[in-house]
């Protein structure tokens, strides 16, 4: 009986992920990463009570772990599953999101005196590009509006509207010419998408 117990315990240990970032988070097995320490910032309008560090959503890697809240992580997973993966399916299948920003205690567009960004609450993620399983890199800056990746980029941008409360891209302003900004802010008049 003791030997049988040892085998069960050993099997359980071997089946357990070796690294915390391999764990299921936000109650969703398709969101992987780790629970992070609460961020209590001294600046008003900054911090995350229950942050997570996301490394994988719906089997798509993030180039850099995204420090966000679970609402944003779940929206990201929905967008990857319903929009990003289908959009790139015929071009080589999606392997990775190139994340350039997540939590950051700062104002919108880093402008002094501006309202605090949704990044400052862990409600936002910025994506500058995509890596396909065939190794091809697709860049918002270089591929937006032209070439064979024009349609998939337009689709992932347009389909984010509604999943996220704010969707900004190259056509919105100079600050977003090289990436997509997605956040989970909610507005009375519905999503704000440009």
Per DSSP, the three-state class of 131 is: strand
pLDDT at 136 over 70: yes
Distance CA 168, CA 66 (A): 18
Distance CA 52, CA 32 (A): 9
pLDDT at 10 over 60: no
pLDDT at 146 over 50: yes
- Strand-pair category, 192-193 with 94-101: unpaired
Q: Where are the domains of the chain?
A: 2-193
What pLDDT sits at residue 22? 62
Quote the tokens at residue 138. 């697709």
Report residue 177: phi and psi, to 5°. -65, -20
Of 110, 121, 108, give the one whose Cα is nearest residue 192: 108
More confident residue, 20 or 78: 78
More confident residue, 16 or 193: 193
Place of tokens 């890697």: 61
What pLDDT sits at residue 21? 45
What pLDDT sits at residue 19? 43
Contact criterion met (CB below 8 Å) for 142 and 62: no
Which helix or strand (DSSP H or E) is residue 11 part of?
helix 2-15
Quote the tokens at residue 41. 């910032």
């Amino acid at each position: 009986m003791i030997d049988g117990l040892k085998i069960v315990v050993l099997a359980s240990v071997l089946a357990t992920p070796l690294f915390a970032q391999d764990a299921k988070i936000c109650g969703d097995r398709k969101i992987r990463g780790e629970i992070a320490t609460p961020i209590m910032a001294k600046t008003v309008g900054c911090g995350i009570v229950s942050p997570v560090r996301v490394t994988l959503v719906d089997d798509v890697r993030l180039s850099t772990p995204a420090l966000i809240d679970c609402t944003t992580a779940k929206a990201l997973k929905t967008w990857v599953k319903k929009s990003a993966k289908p959009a790139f399916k015929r071009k080589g299948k999606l392997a990775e999101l190139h994340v350039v920003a997540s939590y950051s205690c700062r104002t919108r567009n880093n402008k002094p005196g501006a309202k605090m960004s949704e990044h400052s609450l862990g409600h936002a993620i910025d994506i500058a590009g995509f890596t396909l399983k065939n190794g091809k890199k697709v860049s918002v800056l270089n591929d937006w509006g032209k070439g064979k990746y024009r349609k998939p980029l337009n689709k992932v941008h347009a389909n984010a509207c509604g999943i996220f409360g704010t969707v900004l891209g190259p056509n919105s302003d100079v600050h977003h010419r090289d990436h997509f900004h997605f956040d989970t802010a909610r507005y009375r008049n519905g999503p704000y998408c440009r």
